[in-house]
Amino acid sequence: FSIGTMVQSTASFTSESLAALKQRYAEAGQGHVFKGFDELDDKTAGEFFGQLSGIEVERVTGFFKNATAAHGQEGGDKIEPLEAGSFASALDRAQADERAQWRAEGMRLIGANKVAVILLAGGQGSRLGSSEPKGCYDIGLPSQSSLFAIQAHRIRRLQQLSGNTATIPWLVMTSGPTSAATQATFAQADYFGLREEDVFFFNQGVLPCFDFDGHILLEQAGRVAVAPNGNGGVYEALRVSGALDWLRERGVEHVHSYCVDNCLVRVADPEFVGYAALRGAECGALVVPKKAWDEPVGVICLRNSRYGVVEYSEISSEMAQLTRDGSGELAYNAGNICNHYYTLDFLQHRVPELEAKFEHHVAKKKIKHVDVESGDLVIPTKPNGIKLERFVFDVFPHVERMAVLEVARNDQFSPLKNAPGSGVDCPETARRDLLAQCVRFAEAAGATIQDAESEPAFEISPLVSYGGEGLESLRGKTLVGDQLITDIESVQTV
């Protein structure tokens, strides 16, 4: 059930409460859901009553009306690229000293137990051919580590680098389909070496699915069809689950948030956290340069003079190809990678008052449902309904102090979106990118990798090095290409 828009019902199932609920739904234009109610068995009827009582039907019907009225009307917005100089770039070698300061500040905050991490992990691996949570996926590394394990080990390494005095709380947002499996995976792996009390699971919300006329759909007799409310549901879910209060009690002040499907993510990224904190930002975003002007990726820019994300489909090819002062650099070049920073004060005190301003986005989908008139199951072959979503970046236009930092794609972004063998954003490219990063780490430390040009299976455990540090002893050595380094003292050399 959802958080906020669908809540755990405590209403008792009586003839009076049922009559009152029917009236509420009828006044909201959703009375059709009760057709056939009297034919349900007692158990199903009680569960259905509980589900319907937990839906704030007036509110969600209003969401549909507002979202569909606004859908397709964004064309009047004034879209502009980020101003040159309004954001920093880790690609600029002239900023090496500043980057060292950012990292030092981030590590100071981590060492003082002021930093926590939010993992958006509601997705399943269905497009990857897996029914498990996406975080359980093994991209084919020599270590056979899952995405969850890689990220947990990066947290452990940062805690170690702080002198083993720090704790980085890990908040994991799951969804209905992934919640139990995710928690079981963590328990079976003994929380990947982290303490159980430092991991907080909470569920993404759901919303009813609608037909194109705004009628709530039933997935079966006695059950409303629901869908996750988008990664933007994280804000309400954090609040209602008690996660923000939990962080406050622990003294946390800064939060790093990211998506589970990025194998290169620098979890609790000290450089990013330090950069945003030193700028006094309440919210921040990492961006990467686009591969090409026509790459289908959203970009962070200005919409009506406020920060926002513009999807590729929203700008013309002429705008997408604009360059800065003839430099050849694309004007709309700040590719959004769903990697964000917040202060806890912003999440806990500013966001709640802003949420009423967030519009839902319309996603037209094929939704299997029961025809309430005939009772027949409808299995559509083309989109027949609407799922409503909020996006995590919907907060950007309301941010007063924003910090945008450009980073290298090959160091921090390799998403896992597509099936094996697809060639783009798939397990093979994720594996290639992570192993190539490990080679660069070793070479930067002064080592030579045997047959490096042939892309060897060369992996350095995140427990050995978070971002290339701690490899000084490799200087001058030639290393066997195909190896997994889990102990810097046991490296295989040629």
The pLDDT tens digits for 169-218 are: 999 999 888 999 999 999 999 999 999 999 999 999 889 999 999 999 99
pLDDT in tens, 75-99: 578 999 998 778 999 998 888 999 9
pLDDT band at 370 (very low <50, low <70, confident <90, very high): very high
Amino acid symbol at 361: H
The per-residue pLDDT for 128 is 87
Predicted pLDDT at 326 = 66
Q: What is the pLDDT of residue 1?
A: 29
For residue 74 the two structure tokens come to 């964004």
Asked whether the predicted pLDDT for residue 466 surpasses 70, the reply is yes
Candidate from 138-147, 221-230, 457-466 with smallest mean pLDDT:
221-230
**Lowest mean pLDDT, pick from 125-129, 242-246, 467-471:** 125-129
CA–CA separation, 3 and 1 (whole Å): 7
pLDDT digits (tens, 9 = 90+) for 302-347: 999 999 999 887 888 999 999 987 678 899 999 999 999 999 999 9
pLDDT at 6 over 50: no
Q: What percent of the chain has pLDDT over 70?
A: 97
Look at the pTM and tell me if it is higher than 0.85.
yes
Whether the pLDDT of residue 267 is over 90: the answer is: yes
pLDDT digits (tens, 9 = 90+) for 110-164: 999 999 999 999 888 888 888 899 999 999 999 999 999 999 999 999 999 998 7
Q: CA 337, CA 417: separation in Å to the nearest integer?
A: 13
The pLDDT assigned to 77 comes to 83
pLDDT at residue 4 is higher than 50: no
Checking if the pLDDT of 3 tops 70, the result is no
